[in-house]
Structure 1
Amino acid sequence: MLALNQNLQKLVDIAQKTTRLGIGLMSGTSLDGLDIALCRFTGNGLSTQFELIQFITIPYPHSFKSEVQQVFAKKTVDLEKLTLLNAFIGNYHGELVLQALSKWNIAPASVDFIASHGQTIYHAPKRLHKQPGYPNATLQIGDGDHLAVKTGIITISDFRQKHIAAGGEGAPLALYGDVLLGSKPGENRILLNIGGIANLTYLPGDVDTDNVICTDIGPGNTLIDAACRQYFGKDYDEDSKIAKSGHVNDELLSALLSHSFFNEQAPKTTGPELFNLSYVAQAQKASGTEDISDTDLVCTLSAFTAASIINFINSSITASNLKVYVSGGGARNPFVIAGLEKAFEHVKDTSILGIDPDAKEAILFALLGNEALCGEPIAIGNNPKVLMGKFSFAI
């Protein structure tokens, strides 16, 4: 009988360990920086126990953001630039992981795996692209082989492709981690993540996975950030200072909320391919609000984020005594959170659950990596029953 080669043997050895040390990487559509979460896992599936050992967000320099924005959410791009960035981002993320491990005085050899989300460049569900004969599709770059070779750590990446291959839309993947880490018998929970796009997972108190809802809702920070960059030269609206100094334009808000996406049945996905400044301009034209002030525009876009979340929850989730737990950059947006608090009795960030709201998505990808190593596919409603991720070895 032939022995396994050393890479496959190492996978078997890691999977059979009592505990595993893994790194989750998340780089979102806001391009703020790379979230790096070092986690310890025991077990798998519904018996998973985890501990967040370290977390850091390493901000991206303006030059990096500019490079990615050349190919981000555009139908037509420079193919050479896209190809180069795939390798470049893999290497760059590897460098940032090594920087974090050095800061924490942790040897790379002690880490069992990296689980990398990569950088989303284009998200194209059939509902959005509407091209006959073509399936759901999505593209994340930041090659896993480059990450593995750079760090010397087995890397699991490109998670979204399996989800699509099995009939899903490739998002939101928070579903799997939220069910494993966030369910609580007797409590109807909504785990709401407000990143560039807002998504949520509804976890019923009866813990019946057939009743779990996980879906994108609409824009999170993406339109607010885009308007701040365009009109104020700022990456985002810090402490909602701009929004708080403006007024909501009801006509524009109504036009923004009129898109057919908001009437589509969940689960559904979206991205900046739909919710961008062109979308805003079309809504302004339709509502005759092209002349409103830049401040009122940011205020109205902030209200749009809150309203789309509130409308979805009120129309789609009938359970009583809902408890809403918020994560992502939007958890630090006072204007949006105030809107949610007016609508729902219980709104807290996920730190109350022992999950750092900034680290949540990176933790979830680390968890998906742990499942890829030693888990089994889990049936959750009508979602694809799959294990996700492709393995890259350092040698």
Structure 2
Amino acid sequence: MNNNINKLYSIARAPARRIIGLMSGTSFDGLDVALCELEGAGIGTKVQVLHFKTMEYTSDFKEDLKAVFSKKSVDMEKLVLMNAVVGKYHAELVLMCLKEWGVAPQGVDLIASHGQTVFHAPRSIHGKAVYPNATLQIGDGDHVSVGTGIITLSDFRQKHIAAGGEGAPLAVYGDYLIFSDPLENRVLLNIGGIANFTYLPSGFRSDEVFSTDVGPGNTLMDQFIQQHYPGKYFDEDAKIAYSGTVNEVLLAALMDHPFFMLPVPKTTGPELFNLAYLENAMAASGQANMTNEDIMATLCRFSAQAIAFSLLQYGGQSDFEVYLSGGGAHNPLLLAHIGNILGKSLEKTTAQLGINPDAKEAVLFAVLANETMAGSNIEFPKDGAIPSVTMGKISFPI
């Protein structure tokens, strides 16, 4: 037997695994690195986060990513080069973390690498009936594996699409396994570049689990800040948005898009919610001469309204507790808007459930890798919205 296959077999049979989860989101401010100890698999999975750190990207690397991110037309040479660059860079960042933590690469069983999404193209966005749902993440797993010496699972989203899904959101698999509760109905709300949530009914009822994107989280606000405030990547503590006033006419134009009327579950990305989307809404509403502060205040309210209205669809079905994660959980104005619409304050994060909310997405990819190695397919409803599959392509270091 090939030594790598034999090692996989041993890892799969072990009572526990040490897995590094890697996540780089659409804001690409840095690489989230979470070293996790996972015991068991399936609904009995136990996760302990041993170490976590966000490794901030250099300005040059961010600019390189922007050159190939969320564009219908890109320099193909640049895209191909960045596939290798991202993989190699992520490997270097992992090794830096391990050195800081005093952990040898040999002490890690697996890396679960999300890679960097550069284009997300579900049918609902591309609108071409003869073409399938599609998505592309770069940061080749072989480069991560060879660079670190650790077996790496990567490219998780392709199996989801191949089995009938849209490639997102994938959080539902990990959310169900580690956050379900026998008594409490829960909503796991992640506000990243795009906002999504998972609905977890009490009692581990997988046939009623639900997950969907709901619209922009931070992406429009971040894009606007980066265009108009050189050197800034986001509106820290919503200071700029707080200083402005919501423009109700523009807000109505922003909400006037077929995406919000699509049946759920659905997915989206910056390919739809971008600065061109904002410019079109401003032109359509006759609001071209607004201050930056008022635009930011309106964009913040727009994200909140899209999130809250989607959550309210579930308010009539059952009472639920909301647990936050993602960068948007640090935006006080965004949370205040959502809370005002819902009629409840949003104070709980996944920290109350034992997982650092900033680490949650990276941890969930470690859980996905654990399921691929040691679990079995979860029986979700057979409508294809949540395919009952395990995910991730395996790369060996030698």
User: Smaller-chain TM-score range?
Assistant: over 0.9
Question: Shift of residue 307 of structure 1?
Answer: 0.5
Tell whether the 8 Å contact from 1:25 to 1:365 is kept in structure 2 after alignment: yes
Q: How does 1:161-200 map to 2 (within 5 A)?
A: 161-200=158-197
How far apart, CA to CA, are the structure 2 residues paired with 1:226 and 1:296?
15
Tell whether the 8 Å contact from 1:119 to 1:140 is kept in structure 2 after alignment: yes
Match for 2:388: what amino acid?
Answer: K
Partner of 1:20: 17
Match for 1:253: what amino acid?
Answer: L
Partner of 1:374: 374
Match for 1:318: what amino acid?
Answer: G
Tell whether the 8 Å contact from 1:191 to 1:324 is kept in structure 2 after alignment: yes
CA spacing shift, 1:344–1:388, aligned 2, 3 Å: farther
Q: Which runs of 5+ in 2 are unaligned?
A: none
CA spacing shift, 1:206–1:18, aligned 2, 3 Å: closer
Q: 1:307 aligns with which of 305, 327, 330?
A: 305
Using the size of structure 2 for normalisation, the TM-score is: 0.97
Partner of 2:350: 350
1:268 counterpart SS class: coil
Q: Count residues in correspondence.
A: 392
Tell whether the 8 Å contact from 1:138 to 1:161 is kept in structure 2 after alignment: yes
Instruction: Summarize deviations over 1:151-203 as a string: whole Å, max 9, x none.
Output: 00000000000000000000000000000011112211100000000000011
Partner of 2:323: 325
How far apart, CA to CA, are the structure 2 residues paired with 1:206 and 1:392?
37
How far apart, CA to CA, are the structure 1 residues paired with 2:47 and 2:172?
17
Instruction: Summarize deviations over 1:278-301 as a string: whole Å, max 9, x none.
Output: 000011111111111110000100
Question: Shift of residue 346 of structure 1?
Answer: 5.2
Identical counterparts, % of pairs: 55
Match for 2:131: what amino acid?
Answer: Y
Question: Shift of residue 317 of structure 1?
Answer: 4.7
Q: CA-atom RMSD, angstroms?
A: 1.0
How far apart, CA to CA, are the structure 2 residues paired with 1:232 and 1:92?
27
Q: 1:390 aligns with which of 388, 393, 396?
A: 393
Question: Shift of residue 340 of structure 1?
Answer: 2.1
1:24 counterpart SS class: strand
More off after superposition, 343-352 vs 18-27: 343-352
Q: How does 1:145-294 map to 2 (within 5 A)?
A: 145-233=142-230, 234-294=232-292
How far apart, CA to CA, are the structure 1 residues paired with 2:389 and 2:332?
37
Match for 1:11: what amino acid?
Answer: L
Tell whether the 8 Å contact from 1:175 to 1:201 is kept in structure 2 after alignment: yes
Instruction: Summarize deviations over 1:237-261 as a string: whole Å, max 9, x none.
Output: 0001001111000011111111110
2:32 matches 1:35: yes
Tell whether the 8 Å contact from 1:324 to 1:346 is kept in structure 2 after alignment: no
1:296 counterpart SS class: helix
Partner of 1:296: 294
Question: Shift of residue 318 of structure 1?
Answer: 2.6
How far apart, CA to CA, are the structure 2 residues paired with 1:141 and 1:377?
26
Match for 2:352: what amino acid?
Answer: I
CA spacing shift, 1:18–1:262, aligned 2, 3 Å: same
How far apart, CA to CA, are the structure 2 residues paired with 1:223 and 1:316?
26
Partner of 1:365: 365
How far apart, CA to CA, are the structure 2 residues paired with 1:105 and 1:31?
26
Instruction: Summarize deviations over 1:182-226 as a string: whole Å, max 9, x none.
Output: 111221110000000000001112432221110000000000101
Q: Which runs of 5+ in 1 are unaligned?
A: none
Match for 2:355: what amino acid?
Answer: I
Question: Shift of residue 350 of structure 1?
Answer: 1.3
Question: Shift of residue 378 of structure 1?
Answer: 0.6
Q: 2:103 aligns with which of 103, 106, 123?
A: 106
Tell whether the 8 Å contact from 1:192 to 1:324 is kept in structure 2 after alignment: yes
More off after superposition, 242-251 vs 339-348: 339-348
Question: Shift of residue 316 of structure 1?
Answer: 4.4
1:191 counterpart SS class: strand
1:377 counterpart SS class: coil
1:320 counterpart SS class: coil
